[in-house]
Every structure is written in C-alpha cells, then in structure tokens.
Structure 1
Amino acid sequence: MDFRITIWDINSDTLATQLTLIDRDLFVRIPAEEIEILVFQRSSRNAPNLAAWIAFSHRISCLIGSEILGVKKLAMRGRIVARLVNAARKCFAMGNFHSCRSILAGLQSPPIFRLRTTWDYLRIHHANR
C-alpha cells in the first residue's frame, strides 16, 4: 500500500497537540546531569536525551520546509503556511515554546523565506494570521 500523509491531512490543533506530547516525552527524559554536562562542556555529545530533544526540533523544522516546497500550487502552499502559522500559535498557547520555535524556524529557513509570491498570497488571503 502506498499511503502518504501530508501536513494538509492533519488539523492544526492535532498537529500542535501531537508535537506537544512528543516534546513533553522527550523533555521529561532529560535528567539534571545532562544539563550540567551541557553547561560545563558546551556540547550535547555526552547528553543523549538532550541531543534527541534538539534533533527532534531540527527534524520538525526540516519537515516544515520539505512539506511546503513539495506543493507546487500557490494557493495550496499559502494555505499550508497559514495552517503551520496557526499550529505555531496553538503550540505557543499551550506553553510549548520549543515546538513553536521549531515551526517558526522551518518557516524562516532560507528556501521558504524566499517564496515571495507565497508570502504575498498569505498577506492578502490570511492577513489576520
């Protein structure tokens, strides 16, 4: 079976909730010793749980970029960007600043930032977001 789920198939509430749950599970695994290691060594090399949390954030921002660039139609691309902005707002409202920042990092990445017509479409059709 060839079945692919995209961001368009997921509601922004569901996306924000799922990101919050995953972030919470990763954050709870981080012991205080790993934070001390990070402070003193300035590297997450000896802190595997902290490295997993950071890697998850990086994967989210890369996923955002690839999902937006995978859509060719301007209207659909604008709607996906609006949905992701909405998901970032909901993560912020839930107190999940880490996933909110990951989504915003994906939207501020250079390939997405250069999509001028998409951002113009977003300003015209979704100005309140």
Structure 2
Amino acid sequence: MTIDPSRTENGLHVGTAHSRQAVLLTLHGDLDHDSGEHLLAVADRALSEREGTATVLRLDCRELGAVDSMGLSALLHVHRRAAQDGLFLQLEGIPERLERLLRLTGTYEHFTGYATLGEEIAPEQ
C-alpha cells in the first residue's frame, strides 16, 4: 500500500493511501460548508492517481466530527465521482451522529453494505 502525505484544510484532515484493491481516505475533523471542497479535491486526486485495479474507495470516518448538509453533499459528490470511475464507495467506522444524518436523509444505503477495515472487500450478496 502506498501512503500519501495527509492534507489539512479548514479543519478537515484527509489522509490518503492506495493499494491495488482500494483507495483509502481517512477523515479527521468536521465535514461542513468550509471543508467540503477540500474533501472533493483530495478524493479527485486520489482517484486520478489510483494504482492497479482498485475497485473500492474507502472512507474511514472513525475520527469524523460534525457533518452538515454541505458535508453530506460532498459525500454524495464523492460517491458519484467514484461511480463514474467504476468504484464502489464504502464508508467505514460511521459515527452515530453521521449514521443518524444518513438515515434521516435516506442516504444510508448509498454508503454501506461492504466489508469493514481489514477485511477482504467484496460486494454484499
């Protein structure tokens, strides 16, 4: 796995790592109006630089803080960008407050249903 330098902007720290199977973004901080564009830029770059035959974009949300409507919009944009490249988007370590937001907005199923960190990644059957 190749690990790229992490980037921090507007209170959101995004770490990136690449392997032949997946691209991993690790999120620390708040995803909101001020930091959504930062996530989009890092995700776009990570997807453009992916190695081999990666089929999954994994977002590790364990250290994600507050997420507002613009943060949710950023996640949906990343989901669309990944799909355009033929990758599944998988949120991992979803904090309770993010899960509540996803369920309230009917978007939970867009981001779940795959293996967790450290497990082989395969679509749910």
TM range (shorter): 0.3 to 0.5
Larger proportion of helix: 1
Q: Which has the larger radius of gyration?
A: 1
TM normalised by structure 2 equals 0.41
Larger proportion of strand: 2
Instruction: Point out which structure has higher relative CO (alpha carbons under 8 A, 6+ apart).
Output: 1
TM normalised by structure 1 equals 0.40
